[in-house]
Amino acid sequence: MSRLTELPSWKALWSHFTRARDWHMRELFEEQPARASQFWLEHAGLHLDYSKNRITGQTVTLLLQLAREAGVPEGIAAMFAGERINTTEQRAAFHVALRNRSSLPMCIGGEDVMPQVRSVLQRMAAFAAKVRHGEWLGYSRQPITDVVNIGIGGSDLGSLMACQALRAHAHPRLNMHFVSNVDSAQLQDTLRRVHAETTLFVIESKTFTTQETLTNAHTARDWFLRRARDPAAVASHFVAVSTNLKAVREFGIDPSNMFEFWDWVGGRFSLWSAIGLPIMLSIGERNFLDLLDGAYSMDCHFRDAPLESNMPVLMAMLGIWYINFFGAGSHVIAPYDQPLHRLPAFIQQLDMESNGKRTTRDGTLVDYETAPIIWGGTGVNSQHAFFQLLHQGTHISPIDFIASLDGRGSLPGHHEILMANMFAQAEAFMRGRTADEARAELAAQGLDDEAIGRLCAFKVFDGNRPSNTLLLDHLDPFCLGALVALYEHKIFVQGMVWGLNSFDQWGVELGKKLAQGILDELEGLGTPAPRDASTRHLIDLYREQRARQRCA
């Protein structure tokens, strides 16, 4: 028995669940007309309707009791106090300091990190302004027109997602490109679309040892040098974002062209740091600061609001309700705004890399489920694809519907259709369609009794499928900052309840090591290591194919 499953609130929730599993939300709405306002929260330009969940007030009370008994308030305080909550790496997880927009210090081990945070922010802003104003010139004295970010995982997804989400605010001259895959197809595609004279490469890597990133960076530099024909030109076309000054220097980037961040910033939580340089280049300093302001507002809310009205805590505990009690193994992120199309991938990494774990902070194995599989896609497109399973399949997968209320940039009629679809889906998932309703609908179409009898079962939807609806006042930097911080904190709370360290990623580290030995073998270096028959066969097949291709 684990500590979590021994908690009184955990046991109380199980007994509550024996009743709750039979409730239908359709009935809950009929019995409790005030649900929509009871289960509604607003903060930082975000509106959360969580009424379409299989909960009553008592469920929420018990879930919050669980949060308290699991030490969530203490965990929140420890995070903001800069404690080394990343216990396996003995580091703070202090991304909240990156968006501390007050003048108050934020300390790790007694040292205020704010002076260094502000100093890097100022350097980023000065650099971004030069590039944006056309004052940062390439080797042929032309302004920069294209920015190529080379990075992967946490050094890619956040900036990519935010640049796409905020493209309405993008600088008109600067085209943003992101290269992450070591499959050269991506880099080749990008290099085909840019000119060496007007391209800035931003090499982003916390460690500056990541094989994929360094391979792409070296290839990009070779490509560049073949055109510029002058190693001195690298200085005006390559900048680095890293914690590893030595490796950046070894790569050949002048330290004055390096933007620093720190080991207390986790990769997937780093878009607020210098890793957000592509975002600042694209949307400018003022908008980047708005992004930080939005996150800061959510941070203050998370730190100070009572659990009952704390948006990240409530979303986290609703997730726990479905994962640990209903056995929901996945969670869908469905943004309806097209610019948010990379949000599901971003949150997928944030959640699954943070809480996709089964060893608790004290080293014991869990005896309960942890992170769900996060998946999703833009809402309307998903309606025409995988929503079928969500409506009538055998799995329960809670959904977050996300959209901006502001349709001002939209062409006439489009935004209303978009929103109508989203509201209709959330309603349908909640209500479903009963057999009587299905029969009535078929009869209204003029079908006879025999046809109605034959088709009715297929037209029935159980409903009772939970969802949150998150509305943004605007899809702007402030609301995006608040939205991302909301998910960061939600995930942290779930990690706290499950007793996990949400800030390490040993699975990723393993991947970084594994490939090297096989790479040597693929290249015919060293003695082949003893391997299982399958891996041996795959390696041999690849080598044979390559040998044949070389001869052809």
Q: Which chain residues interact with ligand G6Q by CB under 6 A?
A: 152-155, 205-207, 210, 213, 266-268, 353, 505, 508
By beta-carbon proximity to ligand G6Q, the closer residue of 45 and 154 is 154
Strands 258-260 and 238-242: parallel
Q: Which is nearer to ligand G6Q, 70 or 93 (CB)?
A: 93
State the nearest-atom distance from the C-beta of 508 to ligand G6Q, in Å.
Answer: 5
The CA-based angle 76-82-84, given to 5 degrees, is 95
Task: For the CB of residue 213, give the shortest distance to ligand G6Q in the complex, in Å.
Answer: 5
Nearest to 349 by CA among 496, 168, 513, 151: 151
> How many CB atoms within 10 Å of residue 388?
11
Residue 309 per-residue DSSP state: G
Phi and psi torsions of 275, nearest 5° = -60, -25
Q: At which residue do the structure tokens 């290249």 appear? A: 523
Please give the residue whose beta carbon sits closest to ligand G6Q in the complex. 153
- Return the active site residues: 353, 384, 512
**What's the CA gap between 278 and 272, in Å, rounded?**
11
CB 147 within 8 A of CB 174: yes
Nearer to ligand G6Q, 510 or 533 (CB): 510
- Minimum gap (Å) between residue 274 Cβ and ligand G6Q: 11
Q: Hey, what are 233's tokens?
A: 């030109």
State the minimum distance, in angstroms, from the CB of residue 268 to ligand G6Q.
4
Q: Which of residues 266 and 278 has its CB atom nearest to ligand G6Q in the complex?
A: 266
Residue 228 makes CB contacts below 8 A (sequence gap 6+) with 139, 196, 197, 234, 237
Kindly state the smallest distance separating residue 15's Cβ from ligand G6Q, in Å.
Answer: 38
Return the SS3 of 241. strand
Residue 4's identity, in one-letter code, is L
The residues facing 485 across adjacent strands are none
Which residue lies nearer to ligand G6Q by CB, 155 or 494? 155
Task: Please enumerate in sequence order all residues whose Cβ is within 8 A of that of 343, keeping only pairs 6 or more positions apart, or say none.
Answer: 161, 165, 333, 335, 376, 402
